[in-house]
Each structure stands twice: as C-alpha cells, then as structure tokens.
Amino acid sequence: MEAAVAVGTFIRIEANKSCHSRSLLLRHHHHQVLGCNSKPGALHCKLKMGFSQNGKVNGTKVEIGKKSSLDREEEEHGSKSMFSSMPPAVAADLESYVQNPAMQAVLVAMANVALLAVEKKQQQQITTIAAGKTEVPVDALRQGRLVEARLVYRQTFVIRSYEVGADKTASIETLMNHFQETALNHVWMAGLAGDGFGATHSMICHNLIWVVSRMQVQVEQYPAWGDVVEMDTWVAGSGKNGMRRDWLVRDYKTGQILARATSTWVMMNKKTRRFSKMPDEVRGEISPHFLERSAIDNKDLVTQKIKKLGDDSAQLVCSGLTPRRNDLDMNQHVNNVKYIGWMMESTPNAIQESHELETLVLEYRRECGQSEVVQSLAMSCSSGALKSATLSPPTVMCVHYTHLLRMQSDGTEILRGRTSWRLKQRNNNSSNNNN
C-alpha cells in the first residue's frame, strides 16, 4: 500500500555519560495522511545510544519502538491513536504501515539528518579543546565568547547606520564605544562583574571604581556601514596599582586588522573621588585573567608624554562646551568617549573633511561633572597645517595636533591629547592624479 504520510512524531536522541550529552526533540503539529488532516498522534521513536538494537544513527545504536515516559504519560491520560478518527479498515492499514521495518528505517534516516543539522548548528556553542586553546559557549545575546584559555574575550559587531558619518565609515567615537562595551562584557563573562560599572565583587566591597588614565588608538582602516567587525580584548597588569586593557579589531570576513588600542586603568574611591591603591583581594581576583600581550608595539606611542598646552601656544580655541545629562556614565561623570567630540571642536573642519584620524593618544587628568563648562584648545604640530586648513581641500598628507580640555572657569586640566591625521583615500587618489 502506497501512501504519502507525514507523521506527528517525537524523536529523542540522548547520549550516554561517556559522550557529549545531546538531545533532539522534533514535533510536527499537523499531519496529512492521504490528503486528510489528523490530530497530533502518539507515535514515538526513542533513539538511544549504547543499545544493541536494529539500527544506528551517526554510528550510534538506536532503539525503536520502546515506550518512553512520554508514551506512558499519554496512555495514562487516555491519548488516542492518530488514526482513531479514520474508518477502522483504513486505520488498521496505516497502523500496520508505520510499524513496518521499512517505515522505521525512514524514521531512523530522518533522525540522522536532523541530528547532523543540530550538531552543525551547535558546533560553535559546545566546549572544545584544540591545540591548547579552549572555547566556551557563545553568549547569544552579546554575541561574544571567551577564547584562548578563557583569557581573551571576542565579540562581533555590525556597523549600524547611526554609527557612520557622511562618508559612510565608522567614526572614532564608534570604535571607542565598542571598546567600552567589550570591556564590560569581558568582565561579565569572566564572572567578575558585581553590580558596578565594570567593578568586580571585591571592588564593590571596597567602594572602588575603574577610571581610565591613558588611552592609545591606532586605526589602519575604518569599517564601513554594514561591515561586520570582530573585536578581541584582554587585560594585563600595569605597575603596582594599575591594569592594562588592549583591543584588536579585525574585519570578520577577511581577518584584516582594522585597529589596535591599549589603555591603562586605575582605581578611584567612589565616595571620596580620590585615586586608590589596588587591594590584595582585587589583585587576587583579576590577576588570573592577565595575558601578557600588547596590541600596539609602538613604544613611543604608548609611553611618550604629552606636553601641556598653554594660552600662549594654543592656536585654536573653542569655549562654552557643556555636558548634557546623557553624557554621564553610571559612575556619574562624563563618559570618556565624550571628550573626543570636544577635542574635535577645536580641530579645523577642513582637516576633518579631507583627513581621517590615524592615531589618538589621550591622557585623562581628572573627571568632569555635568555642571562643568569646558574649553577645548588645539595647536598644530605640522608646518603648513593651519594654512592648509583654510583651503578646500587641504593637501598636506599628514597633520598632527596637540589638544587640551580644561575647565573654563579656572583652567584646571581635564585631558591632554595628541592626534595624527592622514589624507583620506579619495583625496589621496585625487592628489596623486593631479601630480
């Protein structure tokens, strides 16, 4: 008897203790038999590893026809056969058909295909150990995971439309925001996060918070709208009381390095707002996660101090900058990414139009609150840069600036900065064609 049968089936596959545990439960809520709809039935096939029965799934012995707890439960509640609504003669033929060894072989084949699909989907989520590197299950919501013996946090991002500028490439603020996001997610996934802004459990007990003291960013190429980037971050010690955090940004598809960054962090007492030594409890908490690796090999970029910029040397000044309420972070001071926007206020618009930021060095001097009024100063370190800034477009290939953010009221320093700008690719090509 030939019939096109789509059976409402439960198929469960379980591994024994010596294997990776895995289970698969499939259920079709609608059934068609010879073009007629029927109710969900009670035909079950339980395929279980380790039994010497009449079939295998993926090299695993299976057991067909044995009643499961689900079978028994349905029998206790009076579950009827899926064919009970059909004429008795037809129902008997179909019952005999699905119990036929050939039909059971079809069910085994279906289970085999389904198992392969599930295993492929879960391959990246199952703990694997290969070549001395351990990967743990993916955090599906944050799209991140710990790799390299759980010392590196890796996360992917899609560059959104609101993260790009007029040229459809990501801004430096976009990268900085993702640096901050991955740092916090790393602390969370490593099991260190308390209820603070990246603070560990011991830090909360000592009323301490992290504050960044220095940041260096080196951009090789800015990702464009819709690009997928992969970002790695890890931590290491920095002196007696500090911690260093590095980032490496790659194009997800090609693996090309897009940007590198490193930063130094110190502790501040949340109540007194004064810097604090690192307690032994905190050091013992974070030191097992240290990885001695540097994202930026340029020692001058990492260690060179930034000279103070005074009124007599400043060439560009922008005053009256005030933080908005949404510029504050969870530690109730202006987020460090906001400072970059203020620095750009004293950078000539013509430079920002024709050039892109290549390197960025920031030295944070003190925190800034919502009630402060800020002044941004800049000085060109490149001959001809200021003159070129009045042209459209400037043709200077590389431009350097020194920056200062300070309180407008008393001149107290908030941040020192240094930026290097390179001619954007489209302008570079145009310049070469003119030559």
Active-site amino acid positions: 331, 333, 368
Q: Residue 339 half-sphere exposure, CB side, CA atoms within 13 Å?
A: 31
3-state secondary structure of 53: coil
Euclidean distance between CA atoms 245 and 399, whole angstroms: 28
d(CA 395, CA 286): 48
- Locate tokens 């990967």: which residue? 135
Q: Which residues pair with 74 in a beta bridge?
A: none
The bridge status of strand 36-38 relative to strand 31-33 is antiparallel
Q: What token pair was written down for 429? A: 């090509």
Q: Are 393 and 425 in contact (CB under 8 A)?
A: no
Q: Which long-range contacts (CB under 8 A, 24 or more apart) does 276-281 make?
A: 276/206, 276/208, 276/241, 277/240, 277/241, 278/240, 278/241, 278/242, 279/202, 279/206, 279/208, 281/202, 281/205, 281/206
Please tell me the distance from the alpha carbon of residue 425 to that of residue 16, in angstroms, as a whole number: 59
Maximum pairwise Cα distance, the chain:
103
Q: How far apart are CA 30 and CA 22, in angstroms?
A: 26
Within 8 A by CB and 6+ apart from 376, the residues are 317, 318, 319, 321, 342, 343, 345, 346, 403, 404, 405
CA 378 to chain centre: 34
Task: Give which of 68, 12, 5, 65 is closest to 33, Cα–Cα.
Answer: 5
* DSSP annotation string for 356-409: EEEEEEEEE-S---TT--EEEEEEE-STTHHHHTTSSS---SEEEEEEEEEETT
What number of helices (H) and strands (E) belong to the chain?
A: 11, 21
Letter for the amino acid at 233?
Answer: T
Q: Distance between CA 260 and CA 179 in Å, rounded?
A: 10
